[in-house]
């Protein structure tokens, strides 16, 4: 019998984000400090067995969804084994990955799907090679690899949906896709449980104004969703554009965030048929036709129309990116755009998330500084169990002791969870707290995306 993981506001936590590594193959300005980060010594990082102990414990507490993050999660040497074990854990229904896709060649895509991953979010902030290099501080080959991975994963998701529909309705199976690439997609669609790919783009003032329409057009091309995420204040990104002079006072701080209202105004001009998508609308009990106030993203369908001005920008970006044609029709005709407005329209009232850092600390809120050391709880439980020398000193009994320790620590973290934004008022107060904490404040890459 599961015992729900609830905080003092009654929010049930069903979603665990696990950072597999602090390392990353990119150096994105909004995530990685210019001088890099001090990585934790290996003995301080969670082992694969310890990660699985946490997942098994929280699954007993009602967690049904796990997302692997980082750093770049696919840099961890044993990521495939960890993913496969998590996907097989009783109670876990969905396993997602957030990745920059540099490791997702065709072989990497196959490994991802066969490990039991059900969805992926691919980080991509631009379709222009020079802008990618300025933002990621790495060669533009990474941008092309990401676009190729999105194309392949979109086809696998679409093909899998078509196969499941035929099987559930008794309809004839779709004809095989042509060519070697088509055979590859068909094979993975049958072998795995992969269902969706989304594009993640951070909404940055002075940058996203040029990128929003082309990225939305790429989503429409492949029949997927692009999610624009409002930039957030973390240690090392200074909550100001790179190279800007330090503010004389907090009131003069330059926020790099492009807020949802500005982004939507621009997108609605570019795509005049844009309208709210059913996936983001409010459930019964909330005002009819409004967006779900508890949903992570507010989602719109793009439609087929494009303004003349946007069409020119899209044409230029596509010429630079050179995306290949879709392998098959996308699962969502026309594509979608979502906005995660963590700063201007936070969805804290329905938060169901827990975050596990690579060094084994649990955060109940992305914006709070409070952490509970799950790594220490697991290791202390293991030592205590061994020292007790019980007659039933078995691996199963040791695992049970670890799960109890994890659940106690998780409930401790939830007992201190704030109602919203880690107890802060807004993005500015989060930035000020991060600055005041100095070296004790984690940059985004050390929390886990």
**pTM metric for this prediction:** 0.91
Residue 243 lies in a domain: no
Res 433: pLDDT: 77
Res 403: pLDDT: 87
Residue 245 lies in a domain: no
Q: Which of 446, 370, 356 is nearest to 406 (CA)?
A: 356
Residue 74 lies in a domain: yes
One pLDDT digit (tens) per residue for the chain, 449 residues: 456 899 999 999 999 999 999 999 999 988 887 788 889 999 999 999 999 999 999 999 999 999 999 999 999 999 999 999 999 999 999 999 999 999 999 999 999 999 999 999 999 999 999 999 999 999 999 999 999 999 999 999 999 999 999 999 999 999 999 999 999 999 999 999 999 999 999 999 999 999 999 999 999 999 999 999 999 887 655 555 444 444 444 444 567 889 999 999 999 999 999 999 887 676 777 776 677 766 789 999 999 999 999 999 999 999 999 999 999 865 445 699 999 999 999 989 999 999 999 999 999 999 988 999 999 999 988 776 555 555 455 677 777 888 899 999 999 999 999 999 888 888 778 777 777 766 567 888 888 87
367 burial class (0-12, 13-18, 19+ CB within 10 angstroms)? buried
In this structure, the chain runs to a length of 449
Residue 240 lies in a domain: no
Distance CA 234, CA 229 (A): 14
Q: Which of 443, 404, 21 is nearest to 239 (CA)?
A: 443
- Quote the DSSP letter at residue 252: G
Residue 388 lies in a domain: yes
Cα 423 to chain center, whole Å?
23
Res 384: pLDDT: 66
Res 85: pLDDT: 98
Contact call for residues 42 and 90 (beta carbons, < 8 A): no
Contacts of 4 (CB under 8 A, 6+ apart): 12, 61, 62
Contact call for residues 86 and 95 (beta carbons, < 8 A): yes
Domain count, the chain: 1
Residue 8 lies in a domain: no
Res 309: pLDDT: 94
Distance CA 6, CA 415 (A): 8
* Residues of the domain holding 380: 15-235+255-446
- CA-based torsion, 157, 159, 160, 164: positive or negative: positive
Dihedral angle of Cα 122, 126, 130, 132, to the nearest 10 degrees: -30
In the sheet that 65-69 helps form, which strands lie side by side, from edge to edge?
Answer: 275-276, 298-301, 336-340, 225-230, 196-203, 119-123, 94-99, 65-69, 15-19, 353-356, 361-363, 372-373
Kindly list the distances between the CA atom of residue 289 and the CA atoms of 284, 286, 334, in Å, as whole numbers in the listed order.
10, 9, 21
Distance CA 264, CA 279 (A): 17
Please, what is the Cα angle at 174 between 168 and 180, to 5 degrees? Answer: 130
Q: What is the CATH number of the domain that holds 414?
A: 3.20.20.70
Main-chain phi, psi angles of 200, to 5 degrees: -105, 130
Q: Which of 304, 296, 349 is nearest to 65 (CA)?
A: 296
For the record, the structure tokens of 77 come out as: 């040497």
- Quote the DSSP letter at residue 346: -
Residue 244 lies in a domain: no
- Quote the DSSP letter at residue 277: -
For 268-391, list the strands marked E by DSSP. 275-276, 298-301, 336-340, 353-356, 361-363, 372-373
Please, what is the Cα angle at 219 between 323 and 330, to 5 degrees? Answer: 90
Residue 10 lies in a domain: no
Distance CA 379, CA 49 (A): 11
Ramachandran category for residue 105: left, alpha or beta (phi over 0 → left; psi -120 to 50 → alpha): beta
Kindly list the distances between the CA atom of residue 19 and the CA atoms of 27, 81, 430, 448, in Å, as whole numbers in the listed order.
17, 15, 22, 5
């Amino acid at each position: 019998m599961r015992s729900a993981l609830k905080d003092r506001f009654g929010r049930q936590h069903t979603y665990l984000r696990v950072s597999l590594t602090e390392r990353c193959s990119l150096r994105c300005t909004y995530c990685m400090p210019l001088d890099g980060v001090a990585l934790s010594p290996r003995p301080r990082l969670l082992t694969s067995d310890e990660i699985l102990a946490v997942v098994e414990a929280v699954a007993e507490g009602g967690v049904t969804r796990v997302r692997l993050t980082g750093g770049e999660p696919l840099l961890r040497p044993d990521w495939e084994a960890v993913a496969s074990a998590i996907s097989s854990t009783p109670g876990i229904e969905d396993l997602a990955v957030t990745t920059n896709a540099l490791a997702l060649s065709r072989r990497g895509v196959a490994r991802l799907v066969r490990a039991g991953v059900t969805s992926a979010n691919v980080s991509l902030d631009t379709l222009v090679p020079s802008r990618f290099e300025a933002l990621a501080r790495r060669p533009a080959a990474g941008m092309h690899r990401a676009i190729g991975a999105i194309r392949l994963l979109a086809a696998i998701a679409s093909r899998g949906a078509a196969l499941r529909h035929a099987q559930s309705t008794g309809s004839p199976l779709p004809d095989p896709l042509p060519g070697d690439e088509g055979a590859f997609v068909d094979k993975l669609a049958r072998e795995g449980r992969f269902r969706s790919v989304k594009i993640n783009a951070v909404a940055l003032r002075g940058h996203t104004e040029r990128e929003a329409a082309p990225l939305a057009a790429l989503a429409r091309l492949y029949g997927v969703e692009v999610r624009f995420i409002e930039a957030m204040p973390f240690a090392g990104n200074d909550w100001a554009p790179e190279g800007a002079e330090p503010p004389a006072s907090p009131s003069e701080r330059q926020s790099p965030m492009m807020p949802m209202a500005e982004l939507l105004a621009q997108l609605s001009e570019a795509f005049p048929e844009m309208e709210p998508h059913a996936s983001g609308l409010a459930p019964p009990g909330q005002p009819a036709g409004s967006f779900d106030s508890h949903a992570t993203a507010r989602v719109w369908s793009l439609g087929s129309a494009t303004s003349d001005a946007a069409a020119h920008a899209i044409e230029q970006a596509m010429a630079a990116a050179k995306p290949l044609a879709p392998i098959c029709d996308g699962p969502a005709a026309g594509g979608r755009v979502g906005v995660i407005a963590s700063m201007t329209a936070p969805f804290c009232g329905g938060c169901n998330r827990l975050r596990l850092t690579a060094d084994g600390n649990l955060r109940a809120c992305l914006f709070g500084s409070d952490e509970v050391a799950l790594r220490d709880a697991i290791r202390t439980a293991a030592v205590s169990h061994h020292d007790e020398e019980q007659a039933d000193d078995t691996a199963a009994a040791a695992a049970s002791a670890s799960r109890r320790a994890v659940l106690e620590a998780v409930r401790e973290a939830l007992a201190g969870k704030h109602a919203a934004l880690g107890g802060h008022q807004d993005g500015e107060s989060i930035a000020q707290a991060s600055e005041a904490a100095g070296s004790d404040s984690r940059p985004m890459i050390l929390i886990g995306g």
